[in-house]
Structure 1
Amino acid sequence: MSSPAQIPQLTFRAVLLAVILAVVLSAANAYLGLFAGLTIATAIPAAVVSMGVLRLLGGGTILENNIVQTGASAGSSIAAGVIFTIPALLILGYWQDFKYSWVLAIAGLGGLLGVLFSVPLRRSMIVEDPLPFPEGKAAAEVLKAGENPGPGLKILGLSAGIGGLVKLAAESGLRMIPDNAAGAGFFGKYLGYMGTGLSPALLGVGYIVGLNIGIVVVSGSILAYNIAIPLYHAFFLAGDPEVAAQVAGKTAAEAAAIIRAERIRYLGVGAMLIGGIWTLFSLRKSLLSGIRSGIAAARKGAGANLAETERDLPMKWMLVALVLFILPLLALYQAIVGSWGVSVPMTIIMIVAGFLFVSVSAYLAGLVGSSNNPVSGITIATILFASVVLMLLLGSDSKIGAVAAIMIGAVVCCAAAVGGDNLQDLKAGYLVGATPWKQQLMLGIGAFSCALIMAPVLNLLHQAYGIGDPTREGSLQAPQATLMASVAQGMFGGKLPWDMIAAGAVIGAIVIAIDSALKARGSHFRVPVLAAAIGIYLPLELMVPIFLGGLLAYFVERRHGVVGADESLRDRVHRPGVLFSAGLITGEALMGIAIAIPIVVSERADVLALPERFHFGQAVGLAVLAIVGWLIYRTGVRAPHAPRA
């Protein structure tokens, strides 16, 4: 049997394909995250594409395919780190657009620090005291079963085409079908509203996250739209002259949008804030264990005579790289605050928080997977801690304090997102016999490649659609970045509806209590507070199709007889449906970016619109969504039948 040293791994074609996929998938995830508040893991779709492309080029080894999925998975981690934080600088009014060099420095150097900080964790978390790393195991299984990638590629290609065509036909493109189907009305003093988005990508997101999360997020939106907004309109609007003046004379749908934007969405901010703090507190033992593992592993260093499958990046070169990466960030912080007495502590906070939270992120990714990793909670904790220190250095009324806290949080968020993802990839590599240092190098290349295109993509999306503007039709909501901006702004005397944030924190505490009771009973159904908070914060139209996608996943499980079965068995059943869903998401996201180009160039939102006689109503849009849902279901039930649990 060939050793890993003899099997091609870090080949030119594998690196090139990984970089291309990383860039494409990071752009798609940036759009999806700003639009729906969620990103998707990209390792498995990338592995399937890699197996197909390398087969066309004469055949690829399992280790080459592993390198491709390792680099490509940086697309989701860098996109998440960027969109969770950097748009906050726009929302705070510090930037009018995204500065290329600054975004590159924050995302690129933050991502590379995430790689460096995670290297010493591999031995302790994967080899000596192995954690499950569920997504790493799933990726390894796909790589091992890669003899016939053709069907998977067909599924991805077909669904990406469908997702792209529906997006082209929608409101921002040809305007043949609307983006949403909704209805609203006044019922005496009360205001009623119900609607759904018509996005195939959101159905795909729902299929991937499953019914449990789908129920939780749509319940949060129903709480906001069908309880909070009607109650506020009936009993509190008269005492709020600022919002009452905006609502006067508006239709029911317009009034609901204004009340949500100005007041009710802050319930979600409060719930996310208490949820992030609670998540870190409830996992405090796991966090401490992850930190201890990281420190212990860093002290051990690397042995002199290690097998190829045990060789990490050399520690001495990592320390040199760490210094080289930190210096530009120190200069960046100095440019913001103009004081070495402040920029040096900012850099120290970033280094310490970066290493600690990369350890935390890696540990949690090992337990619950990268998709469930509470990176936003980690970032909130970083911003709160940084704000307290900066308040002591700059004063509580500092105009630059909130921006400085966001800058620290952005680097830590990128590092933590990459760190958790890195360990998933290293787990997959460990299971297929890859060389760790080659994977670590590939992830660094992939992360920096994604950072190179983040600012242009964000600027394009901002000019075409708007980012974080709840009053603009079709604006990308950027929920996590808005939360980060609210937290930082609130710490430095910003004007926020603290009564609504406090009420949201109470709602979050109630959700936590319900979830704790379900956990104590051993229930399979859980109510994660951050998912509920996202549901409260985001528009109902986004959450309804996510719920419907989760319902489709449940029906597929029922058809295969695996409801309540082992997770690995359900994952195998869902793999074709997950690939179809990933294709829908990628196709729609890439078409959204493509449509933005003529909109920006022409400075006309309707530049692609067909004549009005070709504009169809909500019924056609609902029919299209139903057809896409049926295709997802048929793809899932036609999968090879799984053995019954």
Structure 2
Amino acid sequence: MAEQGVPQLTFRAVLLAIVLAVVLSAANAYLGLFAGLTVATAIPAAVVSMGVLRLLGGGTILENNIVQTGASAGSSIAAGVIFTIPALIILGYWQDFRYAWVLAIAGLGGLLGVLFSVPLRRSMIVEQPLPFPEGKAAAEVLKAGENPGPGLRILAFSAAIGAALKAAAYSGMRLLPDTAAGAGFFGRYLGYMGTNLSPALLGVGYIVGLNIGIVVLSGSILSWHIAIPIYQLGFMDSDPALAAGVAGAGAEDIAGAIWSAKIRYLGVGAMLIGGVWTLFSLRNSLLSGVRSGIAAARAGSGGAAVPHTERDLPMKWMLVALVAFVVPLLLLYQAIVGLWHVSIPMAVIMIVAGFLFVSVSAYLAGLVGSSNNPVSGITIATILFASVVLLLLLGESGRMAVGAGGAPLGAVAAIMIGAVVCCAAAVGGDNLQDLKAGYLVGATPWKQQLMLGIGAFSCALIMAPVLNILAEAYGIGAPTAEHPNPLSAPQATLMASVAKGLFGGELPWGIIAIGAVIGAAIIAVDEMLKARGSSFRVPVLAAAIGIYLPLELMVPIFLGGLLAYLVERRHGVVGTRDEATRDRVHRPGTLFAAGLITGEALMGIGVGIAIYASKNREVLVVPERFQQDELVGLAVLAVVGWLLYRTGARARPVAGGADAGPI
């Protein structure tokens, strides 16, 4: 089509892609810090693009493809940043998010992700085609986009609901509570149950489905209904510091203290073993795919005879850009450690690890989709490897060196390496999904690759201000007197704990080891299910997220997955392996879910701006007589759930949908 003059990389498409990428990256930053998950944005962006370009006189399928390509950078850059960079705040190295540093890390990481993914396109999409389920779904949406109006209406309606309920929540007007929870002692057994009342989490659950919902909830049940009671009954007496800290506290506070100080580290162990297993299990496919991709890129560096659908960014440009990026990375690390014999190996590690893990991320995105892409596990593996190398290079004196806030410099350096690699891996996996969609609709690869680079850098420009607003309004990490209910930033807290523990900090290594054994057992179960051809799987990193996060966050995710299952049963497609059929059935519901997430997340940032500007956490709070109790909050969540189910069960399929982002 491009050879016949069909527009692709037009000014209006680029501008719309940048606007959508920036807005959706901000929304995903909030969601990721809140729940430890992000939501991919390509398909909702495609629906918005089709509607907007139609108002401007109509857009081609290739223009809409360019818009969804650039906009999809919003979720990947947000994931790479919020999974890692807040660890520098948690370590105390930064007191706020430094604009130049965040821009350098996110911008360089995102652009490296684009560069590293270019030689992988032919091997993973053309020569040895992987499924890339979300890429296929995006292509189907683009092909069926003659009437985007119904999809836009669903998206706008649910976004308004999500935004209104976030404004009414505890962090805003306090009309509605954030959670409904209760705990107590049943004999000597410590019991706890609760649910967050966030519509966004319900939407996340609908998108990831019942399988993942069951896995993450099971992980939380393991922590809260088994591990915490066991620790309270059998080990509390041997932990006088923790026992003294909860003396006289209620059951809910005791359960929370045990989880925070001890039990959540079971999830750390499970994540560590999950990251290592991911790399090991992909070793053969990864090496062959990389070799094939590089060979194909060299062979295809010729000229005009190559069809436009096979033209990537030139390999020589890739090499020049890669060499050019090494210099700022080297200066970045030198500014931290101040030792050239350490900074140079760090830069080399980053380049090698970046290419390796972008390949892993792209392969997994192609195999199982973005919803199960273990970017956090990949980053943990990077931080572990970088930490071991740094320990050898720094020696004993360097190992004990500390920077601002008493943070170990070695831990800070390892986090910096992990942050660049995490951004690159997230963008690389996303890039291959977009290139798959483009391949199916006849797009030109180099134009998509250029657009993704523009979108990634545009998102990097706004990450620091967004994070500073969220940190000022909500707090990040551990609760404080000023921020009693902070954004938990689970992956960043995990990265900080692991890096600090390796450089002289204290970690409950015994509990981490038990978590690793649990992770190995989960992997064994998943392999057995795989061998039997079961449609139900137990991805270890999803289970680890459930173990690591509070129970109340996992309950609405499970409920959303249950609603998705009920919609499938209503349409008679339970158990089908036909992804096209499943996509058509779920399009109305997934658009509604995506709207709930986007509306709540954007209003969360809006509330943060109001608090940040006024320096008053209660600037929006209504009088106490208007504030409602937990029963009202549960009723409101039930109504939202009913609307979500009704949209999925009764509405006819429309263009659009959403898919889950990396974890």
Structure 2 residue 410 is matched with structure 1 residue 401: yes
| Deviation for aligned residue 1:641 | 7.3
Alignment-mate amino acid for residue 582 of structure 1: A
| Deviation for aligned residue 1:187 | 2.6
What pairs up with 1:5-154 in 2 under 5 angstroms? 6-154=5-153
CA distance in 2, matches of 1:31, 1:44: 20
| Deviation for aligned residue 1:589 | 0.4
Cα distance per residue 1:264-322 (max 9 Å; x no partner): 11111111111211222223222223332343334435221212222111222222222
CA distance in 1, matches of 2:527, 2:125: 30
Counterpart residue number, 2:610:
598
Instruction: Tell me, yes or no, if the aligned pair for 2:119 and 2:290 is still in contact at 8 Å.
Output: no
Instruction: Tell me, yes or no, if the aligned pair for 1:261 and 1:470 is still in contact at 8 Å.
Output: no
CA distance in 2, matches of 1:157, 1:452: 27
Structure 2 residue 326 is matched with structure 1 residue 323: no
What pairs up with 1:600-619 in 2 under 5 angstroms? 600-619=612-631
Cα distance per residue 1:478-533 (max 9 Å; x no partner): 11112212221222221111122112112212222222222233222111111111
Structure 1 unaligned regions, length at least 5? none
Instruction: Tell me, yes or no, if the aligned pair for 1:4 and 1:435 is still in contact at 8 Å.
Output: no
CA distance in 1, matches of 2:291, 2:424: 18
Counterpart residue number, 1:240:
239
Alignment-mate amino acid for residue 217 of structure 1: V
Cα distance per residue 1:389-436 (max 9 Å; x no partner): 111110253431111111111111111111111111111111111111
What pairs up with 1:440-459 in 2 under 5 angstroms? 440-459=449-468
Give the SS at the match of 1:395: helix
Cα distance per residue 1:137-158 (max 9 Å; x no partner): 1101000000000000001000
Range moving further from structure 2, 161-170 or 479-488: 479-488
Cα distance per residue 1:203-239 (max 9 Å; x no partner): 0000000001101111111111111112212221111
Counterpart residue number, 1:488:
499
Give the SS at the match of 1:71: helix
Instruction: Tell me, yes or no, if the aligned pair for 1:4 and 1:433 is still in contact at 8 Å.
Output: no
CA distance in 2, matches of 1:453, 1:316: 31
What pairs up with 1:489-504 in 2 under 5 angstroms? 489-504=500-515
Range moving further from structure 2, 372-381 or 279-288: 279-288
Counterpart residue number, 1:567:
579
Counterpart residue number, 1:343:
343
Range moving further from structure 2, 26-35 or 302-311: 302-311
Counterpart residue number, 2:645:
633
CA distance in 1, matches of 2:596, 2:653: 23
What pairs up with 1:160-559 in 2 under 5 angstroms? 160-305=159-304, 306-395=306-395, 397-398=399-400, 399-470=408-479, 473-559=484-570
Report the TM-score, using the length of structure 2 for normalisation.
0.94
Alignment-mate amino acid for residue 92 of structure 1: L
Alignment-mate amino acid for residue 474 of structure 2: Y
Give the SS at the match of 2:193: strand
RMSD, aligned CA: 1.5
Alignment-mate amino acid for residue 50 of structure 1: S
Alignment-mate amino acid for residue 486 of structure 1: S
Range moving further from structure 2, 394-403 or 455-464: 394-403
Instruction: Tell me, yes or no, if the aligned pair for 1:43 and 1:73 is still in contact at 8 Å.
Output: yes
| Deviation for aligned residue 1:75 | 0.3
Counterpart residue number, 1:585:
597
CA distance in 2, matches of 1:354, 1:24: 27
Say if 1:360 and 1:53 are closer, same or farther in 2 by CA, change over 3 A: same
Say if 1:325 and 1:104 are closer, same or farther in 2 by CA, change over 3 A: same
Report the TM-score, using the length of structure 1 for normalisation.
0.97
Identity of aligned residues (%): 80
Instruction: Tell me, yes or no, if the aligned pair for 1:155 and 1:576 is still in contact at 8 Å.
Output: yes
Alignment-mate amino acid for residue 436 of structure 1: P
CA distance in 2, matches of 1:554, 1:382: 36
CA distance in 2, matches of 1:96, 1:189: 42
Instruction: Tell me, yes or no, if the aligned pair for 1:573 and 1:639 is still in contact at 8 Å.
Output: no
Instruction: Tell me, yes or no, if the aligned pair for 2:206 and 2:562 is still in contact at 8 Å.
Output: yes
CA distance in 1, matches of 2:298, 2:505: 43
CA distance in 2, matches of 1:356, 1:234: 45
Say if 1:641 and 1:310 are closer, same or farther in 2 by CA, change over 3 A: closer
Cα distance per residue 1:189-214 (max 9 Å; x no partner): 33211000100000000000000110
Give the SS at the match of 2:191: strand
Instruction: Tell me, yes or no, if the aligned pair for 2:383 and 2:418 is still in contact at 8 Å.
Output: yes
CA distance in 2, matches of 1:615, 1:11: 50
CA distance in 2, matches of 1:300, 1:238: 68
Give the SS at the match of 1:490: helix
